[in-house]
Amino acid sequence: MNKTRLGICAAIGLLLLLSGCSTQSNNAYGPMGNLLLAEPEPVNTRSQMAIARYNHILTQAPLKDEERAELLFQRGMLYDSVGLSGLARYDFIQALQLKPDMAEAHNSIGIHYIQQMDFIMAYESFDSTLDINPDYDFAILNRGIALYYGGRAELALSDMNRFYEKDKHDPYRVLWSFIVEQNVDREKALANLAIHRKELDDENWATSIVDFYLGRVDETAVIADLVDDVKSQKQLNDRLCEAYFYLGKYHSDLGNKIKAANYFKLSLSTNVFEYVEYRFSRVELARLREKRKEDTIDSDSKSSELTQ
């Protein structure tokens, strides 16, 4: 048995130990005894070497604008994958200056605008992507997410439904459709979630997240499904990043702010920089902090009124 398999077995053992030593609770302050802690993903050596090669080519080789734009975009993607978001954003901007019709670069810079909560620029970026390539699936998703975070849930729902219709067997599409729709009509969203669940494969571990949202399983069951058939530490981290984000989103939408924040921090602890779940965990934490400030101001205002 190699070191990776040993590490996974140890992680599964830790999960079982934690599950056996604590009771499950879904309330805002309940124990999170189902936790499986990630070993943070190390920065990929191959990605670092690839960045070095791109640096050499971009500074030494004679390139046409279109070639330089493509190399800048590819280097930007690598920067994103190792967590160097500022450098990634700079490369995407440079690529678009050289090749304004690069749909992929518009989409990638749009995700950065969501992270900065610059939603107007995000809308424009995803609109540009879809103008260039109307079938760019993930630009539809990302524009929907931007509209959702920008407080335009009804418009976001149109994009999410369009994204869902392209693959009804994808649990992530089902989850995002529900997350957005519940901000428009929660009862209808739950009814649609139950309908959409019928199209999902029980063998896909992420289906258990949908079951959790429907109240059919608890958080411990989600984590147990997550570790089933895991074959590498990277695969485990990828799944933990996703699972903890969606568990955090569930609790955030129910107002369980402390538990939600803990889950988002756990998602960030995986260091799976390129996943949208990792990136939007930061957005969610920022939203929770902003809500806390608003609640404090409201509380102070009410206290002031009572003392007058």
- Summarised one tens digit per residue, pLDDT across range 259-308 is 999 999 999 999 999 999 999 999 999 999 998 887 766 555 555 555 56
**pLDDT(26) > 50:** no
pTM of the model: 0.85
Given a contact cutoff of 8 angstroms between Cβ atoms, the answer to whether 88 and 100 are in contact is no
Phi, psi of 41 (to 5 degrees): -65, 125
**pLDDT(239) > 50:** yes
Average pLDDT over the chain reads: 88
The string of pLDDT tens digits covering residues 180-204 is 999 999 999 999 999 999 999 999 9
Q: Residue 10: its pLDDT value, please?
A: 42
> Which has more confidence, 116 or 29?
116
Distance (Å, whole) CA 125 – CA 112:
10
Q: Residue 299: its pLDDT value, please?
A: 58
Please report which confidence band the pLDDT of residue 5 belongs to, taking 50, 70 and 90 as the band edges: very low
Distance of CA 109 to the CA centre of its chain: 16
**pLDDT(19) > 50:** no
Name residue, tokens 């990136």. 279
Helix boundaries (H) for 61-200:
65-81, 85-98, 103-115, 119-132, 137-149, 153-165, 171-181, 186-197
Q: What is the mean pLDDT of the segment spanning 25-35?
A: 49
Distance (Å, whole) CA 288 – CA 297:
14
73-92: buried (b, 16+ CB within 10 Å) or exposed (e) per residue? bbbbbbbbbbebbebbbebb
Question: Pick from 117, 120, 157, 163: which is nearest to 140 by CA?
Answer: 163
Distance (Å, whole) CA 275 – CA 286:
18
Q: What is the mean pLDDT of the segment spanning 150-164?
A: 96
Q: Residue 303: its pLDDT value, please?
A: 55
